[in-house]
Amino acid sequence: MPPSLAPGAVVGITCPSGYVAASRVAHAITVLQQWGYRVQVGKTVGNEHHYFAGTDADRLADLQAMLDDPSIDAILMGRGGYGMSRIIDQLDFTAFLQRPKWVCGFSDITVLHSHLHAQYGIATLHSPMCGAFKPDTETADYILSLQKALCGHALQYPTMPHPLNRTGHAQGVLTGGNLAILAHLTGSQSEVDTTGKILFIEDISEYLYAADRLLMNLKRAGKLHGLAGLVVGSFTDMQDTERPFGQTIEEIVADKVCEYNYPVCFGLQAGHQEVNFTLTLGAVHHLQVGPAGSMLSLVR
């Protein structure tokens, strides 16, 4: 676990994947400063090269500088999109391992989360990124959950009952993130290790048949066998083909794990939606799923 942030800590902002306008980052800077942190803005913020926030070399250099800089205590990503997997194998984590710091983001940043967990066992924060910070959201619980996580609070995440929940309780390291990225990483050095862990998944704008295929990829790779538990976050703006697939996304997920006996929780408020609570991936959590609802709790 990287150390918690104290007042005066430095938060770096970089964009290792898709382009983001500097204007979308401006309010995040203001809020981080209100929280008592100093902010160091990377060269990739507002930079653009076609789809990306600069060339691969630009984005690699900016992220590498922040990983190496001992004065930076946490790194918040400007946005996700795509691009992290193009540079992950060129990153040098030597200095980072001497002084780990919080890496914060989600979506395409799942590549970096999974790599740090698989290769080095370092916890990271699956969290809102800069675009989520707006004047009308800065005091929202899900935005403040990032502040609490950075400060070392033991967070809890209640969810409502769901008809496809599977009751039970489990304890294990929380891992996972974006479903498409987790499937994309199969067979790589960044491949997620799920054995004995609580797996969290979420996604956006996938066709239902494609989500079924992604889950089949994880299942065939052994990633759904031997879990301690499964937590399903938001699957936003899912699409269907002209000939309907025949199952909802929740039914698709439940079908893929029906032969296993670990607890399954649907409806965690994290992922590609406005309400996106911060999760401490790579840290031990307790999952309790019952008829009245579920609770995922960080174990300190």
Catalytic sites, residue numbers: 107, 202, 272
Q: Give the sign of the dihedral formed by CA 51, CA 278, CA 158, CA 190.
A: positive
Tell me how far apart the alpha carbons of residues 88 and 85 are, in angstroms, rounded to a whole number.
5
Contact 205, 238 (CB under 8 A): yes
Contact 154, 298 (CB under 8 A): yes
Closest to 75 (Cα-Cα) out of 27, 151, 12: 12
* Segment (H or E) for 144: helix 141-150
Burial class (CB in 10 A: 0-12, 13-18, 19+), 76: buried
Tell me how far apart the alpha carbons of residues 60 and 186 are, in angstroms, rounded to a whole number.
22
Reading the block at residue 94, the tokens are 């030597």
Contact 47, 53 (CB under 8 A): yes
* Segment (H or E) for 181: helix 179-184
